[in-house]
Copies of this chain bind each other. A is one copy, B any other.
Amino acid sequence: MGTSTSTPGLPPPELRGDQRVAPGLVRYELLHVDATTGARRGRLHTPHGTIETPVFMPVGTVGSVKACAPDDLERLGAQIILGNTYHLMLRPTEALIGAMGGLHRFISWNRPMLTDSGGFQVFSLGPTRKITEEGVAFASHLDGKKHLLTPERSIEIQEVLGADVIMAFDECPPADSARPYFEASLARTTRWLERCVKAWNRQRSSLFGIVQGGLHPDLRKAHAEAICAIDLPGYALGGFSVGEAPPAMHEGVAFSAPLLPKDKPRYLMGVGTPLDLVNCVGSGIDMFDCVLPTRTARNALLYTSQGKVVIKNARYARDEGPLDPACSCYTCRNFSRAYLRHLFVAEELVALRLNTIHNLHHWLTLMQRVREAIEADRFAALQKEVRDLWRTPEKEDA
């Protein structure tokens, strides 16, 4: 720590994972397409090792996956985690992380990483941000300080952070935007991508383009054509899971995913629930990220093989059974629902870690099962099983 002189953003060579590619571009390898759905089994080779896809990526917003240190994540089998450009540029700043050798070394995570562009988060700031052709001006939520995020600046920050995959700076227009606004926004996002590509150093990280278009099939199609006309190591779908009903989202993804190149990884940003994952894997998505498992865990909402468990509920006060009898995570192997309920109610810090470990395990083992099911051409059966469990309305814990 702090003694090696290797390239910033990369761990010392002896700490790197399975190295199938030299530092630089990631490479997608399509292994198999499920016999009866669009589900794809593949591999993403990155400078920090190979990712088995489809994959779920836990979110490490400010330089840690909340409540879980790298030891927990490694034991959980997390293959890749996310960092958020918006949060990290403000604190501790990308300059500091760069000086510390890049994000991998700073947070002591030697497996692959992906950073977002900051776009989604600055747009979420509401009235304090202003969009122009140049970029987005906004005020920090921490100290009110003014910042300007542009395609060039986003790429610069992300390259200093040094993740394996970096994302294009785009606008995610509100789903209910008027059609003229959508059209103008999509055209600007395409111009922004061209600027990202110009700013991008291909030797360091792999830039993914982002297709927007909300729930409008014709806009999605036109934007996918524009974005995918630029040859990039991967492509993402943005603007889903931003408030629309899950069936509309699944339908939109089902229409949009096949618009992306078959020989590149397809990343659905900010998604989602277990039901979302199996539906969208079936449409050909390879990569997912979402704060849902970690955020709900910190609010006592736990996902199990029997539905949702709101562990703070009084009904669990004397429940000697494990949270999920079918789960093999550290939490379920060692603790009763009664104890987990006590820890949460008593506001013991350990509750947040144990809950987070369980939910992440639920998401990550689901994806493991997804991969195995695709390999065996029985993904449709798994999809049905998960749909039956989480059928709308989702199993609530009244």
Interface residues of A (CB under 8 A from B): 1-3, 62-71, 91-92, 96, 99-101, 106-108, 317-318, 320-322, 330, 334-336, 338-339, 342-343, 345-346, 348-350, 352-354
Instruction: Say yes or no: A353-B1 contact (C-beta < 8 A), given A336-B106, A338-B96.
Output: no
- A70 vs B333: C-alpha distance in the bound complex, in angstroms? 12
- A101 vs B338: C-alpha distance in the bound complex, in angstroms? 12
Q: List 30 A-B contacts (CB under 8 A).
A: A1-B320, A1-B321, A1-B336, A2-B320, A2-B322, A3-B320, A62-B346, A62-B348, A63-B339, A63-B343, A63-B346, A63-B348, A64-B343, A64-B350, A65-B350, A66-B349, A67-B349, A69-B353, A69-B354, A71-B330, A92-B342, A92-B345, A96-B317, A96-B338, A96-B342, A100-B338, A106-B336, A108-B335, A108-B339, A349-B349
Residues of B close to A317: CB separation below 8 A: 92, 96
How many chain copies? Answer: 2
Residues of B close to A346: CB separation below 8 A: 62-63, 91-92
- A92 vs B345: C-alpha distance in the bound complex, in angstroms? 9
A350 touches B318 (CB 8 A): no
Contact of A1 among B2, B106, B108, B334 (CB under 8 A): B334
- Shortest 3 CB-CB contacts between residues of A and residues of B: A2-B320, A64-B350, A67-B349
Q: A106: nearest residue on chain B (CB-CB)?
A: B339
A322 touches B63 (CB 8 A): no
- A318 vs B112: C-alpha distance in the bound complex, in angstroms? 24
Known: A64-B349, A92-B345, A100-B336. 15 other contacts (CB 8 A): A1-B334, A1-B335, A2-B321, A62-B348, A63-B342, A63-B343, A64-B343, A64-B350, A66-B350, A67-B349, A69-B354, A92-B338, A96-B317, A96-B342, A108-B339
B91 touches A320 (CB 8 A): no
Residue among A68, A99, A320 facing the most chain B CB atoms (10 A cut-off): A320
Residues of B close to A68: CB separation below 8 A: 350
B318 touches A100 (CB 8 A): yes
Instruction: Say yes or no: A349-B352 contact (C-beta < 8 A), given A63-B342, A100-B318, A334-B108.
Output: yes
Tell me the minimal C-beta distance from A71 to chain B in angstroms.
6
- A262 vs B5: C-alpha distance in the bound complex, in angstroms? 57
Q: A338: nearest residue on chain B (CB-CB)?
A: B100
Tell me the minimal C-beta distance from A209 to chain B in angstroms.
30
- A192 vs B76: C-alpha distance in the bound complex, in angstroms? 51
- A338 vs B100: C-alpha distance in the bound complex, in angstroms? 8
Q: A92: nearest residue on chain B (CB-CB)?
A: B342
Q: A71: nearest residue on chain B (CB-CB)?
A: B330
Tell me the minimal C-beta distance from A321 to chain B in angstroms.
5
Q: A320: nearest residue on chain B (CB-CB)?
A: B2
- A66 vs B62: C-alpha distance in the bound complex, in angstroms? 23
Q: A65: nearest residue on chain B (CB-CB)?
A: B350
Tell me the minimal C-beta distance from A111 to chain B in angstroms.
14
- A321 vs B3: C-alpha distance in the bound complex, in angstroms? 8
Tell me the minimal C-beta distance from A220 to chain B in angstroms.
36
Contact of A66 among B2, B67, B106, B348 (CB under 8 A): B348
A96 touches B318 (CB 8 A): yes
Instruction: Say yes or no: A320-B100 contact (C-beta < 8 A), given A1-B335, A2-B336, A345-B91.
Output: yes
Residues of B close to A99: CB separation below 8 A: 318
- A317 vs B320: C-alpha distance in the bound complex, in angstroms? 45
Residue among A1, A317, A318, A321 facing the most chain B CB atoms (10 A cut-off): A1
Residue among A62, A100, A338, A342 facing the most chain B CB atoms (10 A cut-off): A342
- A111 vs B91: C-alpha distance in the bound complex, in angstroms? 41
